[in-house]
Amino acid sequence: MDHALRSISYIADIGDVVVLMARRMPQGSSTSSDEEELEIRRTPRVVCHVFESEEASFIAQSIGQAFQVAYVEFLRANGIDDPAYLREIDYQF
């Protein structure tokens, strides 16, 4: 499993289970002009991974923190350095 952070659309920890859903990128490029094939390639695909671990909460928290870091970097890259926007988010419930 190798997914870019931006492709992840859902993450949850449920007891000892971590659920992760990500958009699957199209495989290769097709030179075919077959309309049906092109429509299939445009259809969004999602892959779902389910992991069992005693550290499910920690894993989900780590991924959540990675999202937070990426978001802060996005804000800074777009000129938003206001500390009010960059507040600490607690991913522990």
Q: What is the mean pLDDT of residues 53-73?
A: 91
| Domain count of the fold of the chain | 1
- Banded model confidence at residue 92, pLDDT cuts 50, 70, 90: very low
Domain that holds residue 28: 5-77
Residue 83 lies inside a defined structural domain of this protein:
no
Digit-coded pLDDT (tens) for 7-57: 888 999 999 999 999 988 666 555 556 777 777 677 778 999 999 999 999
Asked whether the beta carbons of 89 and 70 are under 8 A apart, the reply is no
List, in sequence order, every residue forming a beta bridge with 23; answer none if it has no partner: 46
Residue 37 lies inside a defined structural domain of this protein:
yes
d(Cα 17, Cα 7) in Å, to the nearest integer? 20
Residue 84 lies inside a defined structural domain of this protein:
no
Residue 62 lies inside a defined structural domain of this protein:
yes
List, in sequence order, every residue forming a beta bridge with 8; answer none if it has no partner: 22
Residue 44 lies inside a defined structural domain of this protein:
yes
The pair of structure tokens assigned to 61 is 């928290």
Beta strands in the chain (DSSP E): 8-14, 17-23, 46-52
Residue 89 lies inside a defined structural domain of this protein:
no
Residue 46 lies inside a defined structural domain of this protein:
yes
Quote the pTM value. Answer: 0.65
Strand order, beta sheet including 46-52: 8-14, 17-23, 46-52
Residue 12 lies inside a defined structural domain of this protein:
yes
